[in-house]
Structure 1
Amino acid sequence: MPSAGEHDQDRGDRVRRSYDAVAGEYRTRIGGELAHKPLDRALLGALVEETADGAPVADLGCGPGHVTGWLAARGVRAVGIDLSPRMVGLARADHPAAEFRVGDLRRLPAADGEFGAAVALYSVIHLAPDELRPAFAEMRRVLRPAAPLLVAFHLGDEVRHMARWWDHDVDVDFHFLDAADVRAAMEATGFTVRAALERTHYPHEAASRRAYVLARRAV
């Protein structure tokens, strides 16, 4: 019988292959989305204001690098990390002012305390519920004391499986999460939640309610 670790590895491999498959189309469809997301821009701006001068900011689950690039364009030392090598390749080509690395949320390719802030926008939705705490513990590891963290996710209690995405074969699950569960996982791993809010989807987005949690790593 496969171990829990083997199941986790298989899930990660499926997510990686799926995002490699859709990377080009994802960049075309999603790469300019911040222009139509005023709340996201406002929250990212608040995160930047709370980041120590000169400290690098991690974009965890960066996809084609549009958020990382947005940060870099504002003078931030931005580092994007994504599980998909193809996404990272596109991000490097499109956003040369930023740094990009291939890596897993559960095993981040970063040193202890390397970052002065981090964002994880819709990346934790690919984790199983029992992986949330380990992932947040890993985020805490790479953040400096008192560093801010912004997390966004879909609200709910369902798991949506996709086998076909934009005319590509994929095998990926999207976990809709309970805000209280996410908050509890963050607090249990050494974060202090400072603000939380919800919104409905914008017209161009997939239909779901969205949540944002702004926290700070405990000293």
Structure 2
Amino acid sequence: MTRILVVDDEPQILRALRINLKARGYDVVTASDGATALRAAAQHRPDVIVLDLGLPDIDGIEVLAGLRGWCTASVIVLSARTDAADKVAALDTGADDYVTKPFGMEEFMARIRAAVRRATASPGLPNPVVVAAAFTVDLEAKRVTRDGVDVHLTPNEWGMLEMLVRNGGKLVGQRELLTELWGPTYVTQTHYLRVYLTQLRHKLEPDPAHPRHLITEPGRGYRFEP
């Protein structure tokens, strides 16, 4: 059963999400502050984390940074902060999605389903290990190594890299990437792709400013070159 950790200091939101998620068959754990959230994530190992930024003890961005040091769960930020800088900060820190309050429950549940799909999707490939000059991608094990050392990727970083690697040498369009990773309602959110590609380049490219493997086709999409 898919386990979801919901972190929010508003009791009515915790209750509403717990009821709606359980009604759809999810196992739900809740926390109302950052310290409790970090302990719950370590104890229960959720598949998806819903994280408010305005927590009473620790700012949600700090909680997210703490999680990303070891946790591979998809993180959906749920926040009343609507400023673009807050969204970019959350995505840069490792969030996989950003939902602003107030929100529609059905759309939110669609985003939960998309997060679960990203975490569990693993289509087959005849040769699951792809070797590039700077790094190696094991598609079956969902593992990336650089100079023999494992590289930690967030679920959405992995999802983007996987799509590009599986289409090696081919252009993967912005709309295709956004639809696959976040759903059809995200086809205009091209800044998501820029954020994640920048993060991937810093983790994988020897010279991120002059990428050799993760190539941008301006206005069109992206391409992986071994």
TM-score calculated relative to the size of structure 2: 0.27
For CA contacts below 8 A with separation 6 or more, give which structure has more relative contact order: 1
TM normalised by structure 1 equals 0.28
User: Which one has a larger percent strand, Structure 1 or Structure 2?
Assistant: 1
Q: Which has the larger radius of gyration?
A: 2
